[in-house]
Amino acid sequence: MEILAPKRNERAGYKVDVSRGQRISRVSSEWFNRPADERYLSLNDLGKAVKSRSERSKTRIVESELIRVEASRDDPERLRLMLPDAPAPVAPTHWSFGQLASLVGAPATYLRQLPAPLAAINLQHGLLKHRAEQVKTLEIENGRLELRAVTGPDYGRIFDSELVDAVQKIAGNGTGDTRWKVPGVLDWSTGIYNPHVDISRDTTTLYASDRDVFVFLVDDLNPIEAGRLPNGEPDLYFRGFYCWNSEVGARTLGIASFYLRAVCQNRNLWGVEDFEEITIRHSKYAASRFALEAEPALIQFADSSPMPFVNGIKTARQRIVARDEDDRQGFLRKRGFSKSETTKIIDTILMEEGRPPESIFDFVQGITRVARDKSHQDVRLDMEGKAKKLLDFAN
């Protein structure tokens, strides 16, 4: 078991076996849905964009009954809000309009179909009857005064720029000036993962919209060997993490860390092991939780030795739990797998490895491969959860 030295001048890349471990599509989903103006080529550019809007935004708590909703005279199709002590009318964005409607218990889709004066009457009635009495607004000067978000008064905002700042402490510009960088690409025809890929709008994994931020980085110039493949070649891994946040309440804050074997052109993660995730809701004490939990966890993962992971894989490979067919069947059935699932897992390992499963590592690989083919997400996650428990059992 060893950590291989980085091959920074090696352009050929690394031979990997992506048939093992999990496939995670979260990053691919982000990559697929992001338009060009939400894709950034460096953490510096991303950080400047989100910091600029944070600096131009201000938040405050206002009394619900003091908000006045009016139809704009200049644009009859739009509403504007008169907030207490605001220097000018505030125009709600599509997102904040939906939040406002939700807070007062009105269907946003229906209100958007109404003429603006009628929608204003309905919203005004809801604000006057709003039980919470107060709301927290996030306003920005963007050529005009816009309402970016409206939430309950106890909403614990963590600005997107705070998350990007935390990432930059360990990843610099995210382009290779530290060990953490935008990932390379797997060549499916050769099974070789090439970490040296030019960062473009098509390959970047640094994203931000007016509602959120998402960052995915890997340490793919420093491969980790954790055992050998059946053909004797090293089984190589790379460390990776992604994180996300929304300062306007569109999603939680979260960080996921893992070991992976490759990233393909569509930004799917292949051969993932040891996946861990923490999320923080934007509740009253969210900012302190970010400072005390999320940011230190990210730094710890970035600076930690991979040896616990390597040793865990080694232990799972060495832990023999089945010597014959009865052992294999019994081992899986006792852990909640159906008869058909048990047969499928054993047959999968036999077909791909050329031998039946014996160690805990063998069974984990078989379970995760079968889980990939499950179309129902809950079933897939349940199987992957059982595989993780097996690894924990081995250690």
Q: Mind listing the pLDDT tens digit for each residue in 13-34?
A: 899 988 888 889 999 999 999 9
pLDDT recorded at residue 306 = 65
pLDDT recorded at residue 6 = 42
Task: Choose the weakest-confidence range: 174-183, 209-218, 319-328.
Answer: 319-328
The average confidence (pLDDT) of the chain is 84
The CA distance from 307 to 175, in Å, is 26
φ, ψ of residue 139 in degrees (nearest 5): -115, 150
CA–centroid distance for 277 within its chain: 9
Query: Could you tell me where the beta strands, DSSP code E, fall in the chain?
Result: 2-3, 14-15, 22-24, 39-40, 57-63, 68-71, 79-82, 91-92, 134-141, 145-151, 185-187, 192-194, 206-208, 213-228, 234-245, 253-260, 262-263, 269-280
Highest mean pLDDT among 73-77, 85-89, 204-208, 277-281: 204-208
CA–centroid distance for 14 within its chain: 25
Which has the higher per-residue pLDDT, 69 or 27? Answer: 27
The CA distance from 321 to 361, in Å, is 10
The CA-CA-CA angle for residues 258, 259, 265, to 5°, reads: 100
φ, ψ of residue 242 in degrees (nearest 5): -135, 155
**Residue 294: band (very low, low, confident or very high) from pLDDT cuts 50, 70, 90:** confident
Whether 198 shows a pLDDT value over 50: the answer reads yes
**Residue 2: band (very low, low, confident or very high) from pLDDT cuts 50, 70, 90:** very low
pLDDT recorded at residue 395 = 60
pLDDT recorded at residue 73 = 59
- The residue type at 183: P
Q: Average of pLDDT values for 383-395?
A: 72
Whether 3 shows a pLDDT value over 50: the answer reads no
The CA distance from 96 to 102, in Å, is 10
Radius of gyration from C-alpha coordinates of the chain: 25
Whether 109 shows a pLDDT value over 70: the answer reads yes
DSSP letters spanning 4-42: PPP-TT--S-EE--TTSSEEE-HHHHHHHH--GGGEESS
Selection from 381, 376, 335 nearest residue 357 by Cα: 335
Highest mean pLDDT among 36-40, 139-143, 330-334: 36-40
SS3 101: helix
pLDDT recorded at residue 307 = 65
Q: Average of pLDDT values for 366-388?
A: 76
The CA-CA-CA angle for residues 395, 220, 373, to 5°, reads: 60
Whether 77 shows a pLDDT value over 60: the answer reads no
Long-range contacts of 236-240 (CB under 8 A, 24+ apart): 236/4, 236/14, 236/15, 236/16, 236/261, 237/261, 237/271, 237/273, 237/306, 237/309, 238/195, 239/301, 239/306, 240/183, 240/216, 240/269
Which has the higher per-residue pLDDT, 358 or 199? Answer: 199
Q: Average of pLDDT values for 331-338?
A: 87
Whether 286 shows a pLDDT value over 50: the answer reads yes
pLDDT recorded at residue 75 = 61
Q: Average of pLDDT values for 75-104?
A: 83
**Residue 11: band (very low, low, confident or very high) from pLDDT cuts 50, 70, 90:** low
* % of the chain at pLDDT higher than 70: 89
The CA distance from 284 to 152, in Å, is 10
The CA distance from 26 to 92, in Å, is 30
pLDDT recorded at residue 310 = 63
Whether 121 shows a pLDDT value over 60: the answer reads yes
pLDDT digits (tens, 9 = 90+) for 224-234: 888 777 777 88
